[in-house]
Amino acid sequence: MPPKDLFSLHGRRALITGSSRGIGLALAKGLGEYGAEIVLNGRNPDALEQAQSLLQDAGVESSLSAFDATDQAAVISAVDTIEQTHGPIDILINNAGIQRRAPLEDFPRDDWDALMATNLNAVFFVGQAVARHMIGRRKGKIVNICSVQSELARPGIAPYTAAKGAVKNLTKGMATDWAKHGLQINGLAPGYFETEMNAALVNDAAFTEWLCKRTPAARWGKVEELIGAAVFLSSDASSFVNGHILMVDGGVTASL
């Protein structure tokens, strides 16, 4: 592979969970612009159609696979259908995620269960379903979206922090078990990005002031700033990188 083609994703198919908006949609567009054919996912078919039309405007080829990533039977069936109908999934970005905020002493059990189901169980369900196909081909890239909260706690989101910490170690476990089958599994850990998940915080001047003090780069991240790292981890450019967590956080985890 000539060095100039190391980042090319031409001829690869990428399934990105939770790609109807936010980080997932930005990565879908970014990987698509590097040549990948995209399979968009989320639970809302209307939102997925809107995302597909945005990709179409950018010249990115995509198909839709609406499923709930917390439902293991639905995941297995959807992954099998994609493989049979469209062809091999070469890249999986495990991105679907939710946030719930409350003081830990009052944290509702239902919210704990929802956070674990979406932010942790789904990474295992989709990862395992896709890896079973990839192992047969002895080739495949999985990128699990972690978080600065895989490393650090912040008030009011302890269960999210617990789930994202577990995703970091699940990533290392996947790499440990599946590298021998030719797979590469890495994590991408965003800092603080302006998406719907953070809508309340983006509009909270006090939080933004805290964030700018806490982040060496002194600003929110823009979702497009995650594309380079995702393309690197999805392409031949990272051919000997396995079980690594790549922080894209403006320096948050580098400093106290």
For ligand NDP, the binding residues (CB under 6 A) are 17-24, 41-44, 47, 68-70, 95-98, 118, 122, 145, 147, 190, 192-193, 195-198
Residue of 57, 60, 59, 47 whose CA lies nearest to 18:
47
Q: Smallest gap, in angstroms, from Cβ of residue 131 to ligand NDP?
A: 18
Sign, CA torsion 61/23/141/119: negative
Q: Smallest gap, in angstroms, from Cβ of residue 88 to ligand NDP?
A: 21
Element (H, E) at 188: strand 183-190
| Active site amino acids | 160
* Shorter beta-carbon distance to ligand NDP: residue 6 or 152: 152
Question: And the tokens for 181?
Answer: 């089958």
The CA-based dihedral angle spanning residues 18, 23, 26, 29, taken in that order and rounded to the nearest 10 degrees = -30
* Shorter beta-carbon distance to ligand NDP: residue 18 or 127: 18
Phi-psi region of 66 (alpha: psi -120 to 50; beta: other; left: phi over 0): beta
Q: Smallest gap, in angstroms, from Cβ of residue 102 to ligand NDP?
A: 17
